[in-house]
Amino acid sequence: MVNQKMKQLGQNRSVIRDIFEYGRRRKEQIGEENVFDFSLGNPSVPAPEILTQTLERLIKDTPPQLLHAYTSAAGDDGVRRAVAEYLNNTYDAGVSPDYIYMTCGAAASLTISLTALTEPGDEAAVFAPFFPEYRVFAEQAGAKLKVIPSRKGDFQADADEIEKGITPATKCLIINSPNNPTGAVLTDESIQTIAHILTAKQQQYGHPIYLISDEPYRELVYGTEAPYLTKYYDNTIVCYSFSKSLSLPGERIGYVLVSPKAQSCSDIFDAVCGAGRALGFVCAPALFQYAVKECLGQTADLSVYDANRTLLYGALTDYGFECVKPDGAFYLFMKSPEPDAVRFCQRAKKYELLLVPADSFGCEGYVRISYCVQTDRIKAALPQFKRLAEDYGLKQPD
Interacting positions 10-39 with a copy of itself (CB under 8 A): 10-11
Contact segment (CB under 8 A) with a copy of itself among 113-121, 224-232, 315-323, 378-386 equals 113-121
Q: Does 1 bind a copy of itself (CB under 8 A)?
A: yes
42-78 per-residue burial string, b: 16 or more CB within 10 A, e: under 16: bbbbebbeebeebbeebeeeeeeeeeeeebebbbbee
| Chosen residue from 35, 55, 79, 334 binding a copy of itself by CB under 8 A | 55
Residues in region 80-99 near a copy of itself by CB under 8 A: none
Residues in region 192-251 near a copy of itself by CB under 8 A: 207-208, 247-251
Closer to a copy of itself by CB, 181 or 337: give it: 181
Q: Measure the CA–CA gap between 264 and 204, rounded to whole angstroms.
A: 19
- Taking the complex as a whole, the smallest distance from the CB of residue 109 to a copy of itself amounts, in Å, to 8
Q: Does 64 bind a copy of itself (CB under 8 A)?
A: yes
| Chosen residue from 83, 87, 107, 292 binding a copy of itself by CB under 8 A | 107
Contact segment (CB under 8 A) with a copy of itself among 60-68, 87-95, 174-182, 353-361 equals 60-68
Contact segment (CB under 8 A) with a copy of itself among 50-58, 215-223, 322-330, 333-341 equals 50-58
Letters for 156-195 (x = contact with a copy of itself by CB under 8 A, - = none) are ----------------------------------------
Q: Measure the CA–CA gap between 110 and 252, rounded to whole angstroms.
A: 13
Q: Are the CB atoms for 384 and 352 separated by under 8 Å?
A: yes
| Residues in binding contact with a copy of itself, number by CB under 8 A | 80
- Taking the complex as a whole, the smallest distance from the CB of residue 340 to a copy of itself amounts, in Å, to 27
- Taking the complex as a whole, the smallest distance from the CB of residue 17 to a copy of itself amounts, in Å, to 8
| Chosen residue from 45, 147, 159, 382 binding a copy of itself by CB under 8 A | 45
Contact segment (CB under 8 A) with a copy of itself among 57-65, 212-220, 308-316, 390-398 equals 57-65
Residues in region 278-297 near a copy of itself by CB under 8 A: 278-288
- Taking the complex as a whole, the smallest distance from the CB of residue 37 to a copy of itself amounts, in Å, to 14
Q: Measure the CA–CA gap between 343 and 345, rounded to whole angstroms.
A: 5
